[in-house]
Amino acid sequence: MTPADLSRTVLHTVRRAVEADELSAVVPDRVTVRVPPRPGCGDYATNVALRIAQQSGRPAPEIAEVLRRRLAAEPGIARVDIAGPGFLNITLEGASYVRLVQDVLNSEEGAREDAGEDAGERSAPPLLPEPPPDLVRRLGADAARWSLLCPPGLDRDLLLAQRESNPLFRVRYAHARTRALLRNAGDLGFCPEPGDVPDESAAAVLAGLGDHPRVRAARAPDRLARHLERLADAFLRWQAACPTLPRGDEKPLAVHRARLALAEATGKVLADGLTQLGITAPAHL
């Protein structure tokens, strides 16, 4: 279940509760779900009960309890808890995350990344226009194109630096890291296999994968670039904390294969996003 799927499920739950006269409220046009800021608060959270309480005058915890009971019975949802003044914290079944990774790996957008080292070479017309020739000569084609997203007054030469403060470097480095993990796993004789990833820090990576189709469809370059930055940062934090490859004499386990599949899916999404912007996604950096 992707974040978009979950948003629709929550909205459908509100609508059914209103139709059953369990709630007296106007059904909102849309419902948002977000990754909670702290571990241990479920996979996603929504404030829909608080929004309904404002218009109905009914206490938010009561509304949250009505929605909690209904949501907990939905396929793909393992548990729903009420937190604070009426937030709903939703924990998905592990199999939902497995399907999400499988869907990314099987997607046409992801398949583009496998065709060569630089996904940008086969891109459709990019979202960003061609940068001025003098900027291309100064920065190179990729950095020049990304610089079109930078705020006025920023020193665009920073985009040439291979360091953490350079968002383009972080995104491309994260992609190259996913490719390196796949090469190293191949040397060790094992392949990615989507499965349950028990790491709490993987939630932000999975959320980024789930959000990608919606961000992609919006065709908004700034929004896409920020999305790629968030996904790259989440992946690099997760990968540093949770080893994808076996260590020492350790044999590859199911969790290593599942982590490798998540890394491969992340690489495909990063490559696809860069391709949309007309920027190459090198396998080596």
Range of the domain at 144: 96-277
Judgement on whether residues 48 and 178 belong to the same structural domain of the protein: no
The last residue of one of the domains, among 52, 71, 92, is: 92
pTM score:
0.74
Identify whether residues 100 and 208 lie together within a single domain: yes
Amino acid 282: pLDDT:
93
Quick check: 267 and 113 in contact, CB under 8 A?
yes
For residues 262 and 198, is the Cβ–Cβ distance under 8 A?
Answer: no
Q: Do 140 and 249 lie in a common domain? A: yes
The most confident of the ranges 21-30, 115-124, 266-275 is: 266-275
Q: CATH number, domain at 75?
A: 3.30.1360.70
Asked whether residue 112 falls in the same domain as residue 185, the answer is yes
CA dihedral 59, 3, 216, 142 (to 10 degrees): 100
pLDDT per position as a tens digit, 187-199:
999 999 999 888 8
- Judgement on whether residues 152 and 262 belong to the same structural domain of the protein: yes
Amino acid at 101: V
Give residue-wise pLDDT tens across range 246-256. 988 899 999 99
Alpha-helical (H) ranges within 73-107 are 94-106
Q: Dump pLDDT digits (tens) for 101-121.
A: 998 998 876 444 443 444 444
Is 283 domain-assigned?
no
Domain boundary among the residues 68, 92, 116 is at 92
Residues 240 and 141 in one domain: yes
Residue 284 domain-assigned? Answer: no
In a domain, 285, yes or no: no
Are 15 and 120 part of one and the same domain? Answer: no
- Cα–Cα distance list, 100 to 94, 141, 179 (Å): 10, 33, 20
* Domain termination residue (choose one: 92, 112, 130): 92
CA distances from 13 to 18, 65, 94, 250, 274 (A): 9, 12, 21, 46, 36
**Number of domains present in the structure of the chain:** 2
Q: How many beta carbons lie within 10 A of that of residue 4, not counting itself?
A: 15
